[in-house]
Chains A and B, each alone.
Chain A
Amino acid sequence: MNNIGFHIKKSILYIFLIGLGVVCLVPFLLMMVNATRSGVEITRSFTLIPSSHLKENWDTVFEFFDLFRGMWNSLLVAIPATLLSVYFSALTAYGLAMYKFKGNKLIFTMILVFMMIPGQLGLIGFYNLCTKLHLVNSYIPLIIPAIASPGTVFFLRQYVMSALPPALIEAARIDGAGELYSFHRIVLPIMSPALATMGIMGFIGNWNSYLTPMIILNKNDKFTLPVMMATMRASTDIQSEQGAIYLAVAISIIPILLVFCFFSKYIISSISAGSVKE
């Protein structure tokens, strides 16, 4: 009796989850399918049966710009920016969570305050700064500011406080480990689920980032993918290029999917790994 109830509960749960899964996947599938259809077909209706216009869409996209060049440019920005942001945020978060020093609270409050300021506000000033430093048209202004990402610091600090027992670091100190050594060898692995989460979010954010690259980059061959794809909208006949836009978007999310697959393994594997015996 109890067993049947359990099965019914399980079934309902699974049906619900499968439904959710379908809801999440259908838009992706539609995008892939639409990438193979012509603009006219897309405006007609939606279907899951691929059409035969992949080659035309491909040609249209490459007539406008070199998609792979854009991907390479986006990678050049997104990978370093993500790595820097994750590493330095982890460092800051660990410092704020584990060391007791004067002004710790104040610094943390300031970080919280900075989280609330939208970045677009300082756009003109930022551009001005970049001109003075001769950094317009380079990727540095897109990468280096990622080091200071208050949101990531906030998230990681909370994670360190809940997941990292101070006893672990004390044990390492007693065994003679230096502070940086223990950070790299002990803290980073423990933080890896949080780092993976933040890494995925950061990568997606950097990959899709449009406004700052659009403002900072002035050369066609330096444009990142979102900026390149936006120029497609400058063309006169939008309808005929619908399929091509879908194709460009479909190709552009491949790296995001790869990153997600790669990092999500870390999230799962690390959550189950224990480090301290209670």
Chain B
Amino acid sequence: MKLKKVMALTLAGVMALSAVGCGNTGSETADSAAAAKTETKADSTTQVATEATPTAQTAPTDIKALNDGKLVIWTLANDLISFGERFQEQTGVEVETVVIEPANYPTKVQTALLGGETEPDIIVGEPQMLEDFYDAGFFEDLNQFGAQDYADQIVDYVWDVGQDADGIQRAISYQITPAGFYYRRDIAKEVFGTDDPTEVGKLFADYTTILETAQTLKDAGYRIFASDAETQYFSGDSAWVVDGVLNVAQARYDYMDLCIELYKQDLTAYASQWATPWYMAMAGEVPLLTAETQWGTDDMNIWDAESFNAATEGYETTQVFAYGLPAWGVLTMRDNVGETSGSWGVCAGPAYGFGGGTYIGVSSQSERKETAWEFVKFCTLNEETANWWIEFSEGDTVSLIPALEAHKDDANEVYGGQKLYAFWLEQAKGIDYSKVTRYDKAIGDAWGNAISAIKTGEKTKEEAVAEFYDVVESTYPEITVNR
């Protein structure tokens, strides 16, 4: 009897509590809705859209009337916030952008979409996430909206990255990220007698030539690279996995030898990537470090400018010839070149490569797919947006060919007036996406570890390569490994 009473009371309590909880959320939503309304009152077009009256659409653009009045974007970088704001201005569609930490973005999207969430209309992905997202069916088929009509307007490799295994278009990126070598024109002229990008490109034509170039530069008192990671975007022109079999091409071994030689013969400035001396070398003189001091010492912190300068006073200095970075490196360099601004150039590397990029697609469970497709189109296929983005991001490289063509004569003063958009377009054309597999990141990292182990003398080449095979075999049992 007593127990029953207790139970009944408890249950009643729970119900009362959850009712209170519901009440709270209800009123809160109402509040925020009201707030949203007052915010948008100033802009009449926006208000029309918020109240979801499609016929009264008066947006002054060629974007067709949208029924939904709202769009939710889940993204992992801040770029889409700006795109979203501009879309809202132009169409009156209320855009809500949620930024999620990149490390947890796949978890969040997977849980939500597998859990039946219809909320995000736009989801994005970086190249290494995309294949899993395609397989899980998270991205809507864009062909049904007529995406293929635009096939020749987007740089080929970006178009290919956006396709699943069956060749169906699922996502499109607004930027291209082909890699190239950024080099010092003044040094090129002094040492090699030319600063022409095509001619300098020949100095990087293959791995053996790079070694020769490096030696020549060292003899002249310069260093070819700041760090030995500069060649990573050009690390091989073959696929890691072909038909389920691990494929270690000769070029991979050549690349390995290149890294080892660069290290053993002190051909780089040992300025670790993204550390202070690495940035410093962009502006000219940099203290010459050695293999032992490349990660800093007790009284020298390579991640900090002041301490680094103080600790390396009186060190022998050198200047660095080249950096290997994707197209977004244009922005990194611009911010760091200082007095060497204008004396830089960009040329092609020994292979085609690319790094990163945000791909935008429509969630397959979205209830506002038409609007979402309009947004994808707005970000990636709209020339006006592309031009705006080039200006707004101060030099990011877009993927829309007409916009690249329109800007192909833009001379970039940091790079001695070189016409970079034309160059990147050319580089992007060479990228063969069929050589990219979902295993690239993990296998590439394992190969990189093997290289580090060999060059520091920690392991012999045989040991390191054997361990590389072991790692691949145990990480991906589905891959056949022929040693």
For residue A124, which residue of chain B has the nearest CB? B114
Contact B104 A214 (CB under 8 A): yes
Selected from B25, B115, B119, the residue in CB contact (under 8 A) with A128 is B115
Q: A99 to B97: give the CA distance in the assembly, Å.
A: 54
Q: A45 to B100: give the CA distance in the assembly, Å.
A: 30
By a CB distance below 8 angstroms, the chain A residues around B14 are: 147
Q: A95 to B104: give the CA distance in the assembly, Å.
A: 41
B126 within 8 Å of A by Cβ? Answer: no
By a CB distance below 8 angstroms, the chain A residues around B152 are: none
By a CB distance below 8 angstroms, the chain B residues around A41 are: 304
By a CB distance below 8 angstroms, the chain A residues around B97 are: 220
Selected from A123, A124, A125, A234, the residue in CB contact (under 8 A) with B76 is A234
Q: Identify which of residues 105-144 in chain B touch chain A, using a CB-to-CB cut-off of 8 Å.
A: 107-108, 110-112, 114-117, 119-120
B78 within 8 Å of A by Cβ? Answer: yes
Contact B99 A231 (CB under 8 A): yes
Taking each of A41, A84, A136, A235, which has the highest tally of chain B beta carbons within 10 Å of its own beta carbon? A136
Q: A259 to B105: give the CA distance in the assembly, Å.
A: 32
B278 to chain A, nearest CB (A): 13
Contact with A along B58-92 (1 / 0, CB 8 A): 00000000000000101011100000000000000
Which residues from chain B sit less than 8 Å from chain A, CB to CB?
Answer: 2-3, 5-6, 9-10, 14, 17-18, 21-22, 25, 32, 72, 74, 76-78, 96-104, 107-108, 110-112, 114-117, 119-120, 301, 303-307
By a CB distance below 8 angstroms, the chain A residues around B100 are: 214, 230-231, 234
B50 to chain A, nearest CB (A): 16
By a CB distance below 8 angstroms, the chain A residues around B5 are: 179-180
By Cβ-Cβ distance, the 3 closest A-B pairs, closest first, are A127-B115, A44-B304, A230-B101
* A-B contacts besides A44-B304, A136-B119, 15 pairs, CB < 8 Å: A41-B304, A80-B21, A123-B111, A130-B115, A138-B25, A140-B22, A178-B2, A180-B6, A218-B72, A219-B96, A220-B98, A234-B99, A234-B101, A234-B102, A236-B78
B412 to chain A, nearest CB (A): 21
Contact B304 A40 (CB under 8 A): yes
Contact A40 B305 (CB under 8 A): yes
Contact A44 B301 (CB under 8 A): yes
A7 to chain B, nearest CB (A): 41
A215 within 8 Å of B by Cβ? Answer: yes
Selected from A44, A91, A230, the residue in CB contact (under 8 A) with B307 is A44
Contact B111 A43 (CB under 8 A): no
Selected from A44, A123, A126, A234, the residue in CB contact (under 8 A) with B77 is A234
A210 to chain B, nearest CB (A): 8
A131 and B117 in contact, given A44-B304, A214-B108, A234-B76 (Cβ under 8 angstroms): yes
For residue A65, which residue of chain B has the nearest CB? B99
Contact with B along A93-129 (1 / 0, CB 8 A): 0000001010000000000000000000001111110
Taking each of B3, B110, B116, B307, which has the highest tally of chain A beta carbons within 10 Å of its own beta carbon? B116
A155 to chain B, nearest CB (A): 20
In the assembled complex, 23 residue pairs joining A and B whose CB atoms fall closer than 8 Å, in A order, are A45-B304, A80-B21, A88-B10, A91-B10, A123-B111, A124-B110, A124-B111, A125-B115, A140-B21, A144-B21, A179-B5, A179-B6, A215-B112, A218-B98, A218-B112, A219-B96, A220-B98, A230-B101, A231-B99, A231-B100, A234-B77, A234-B101, A236-B77
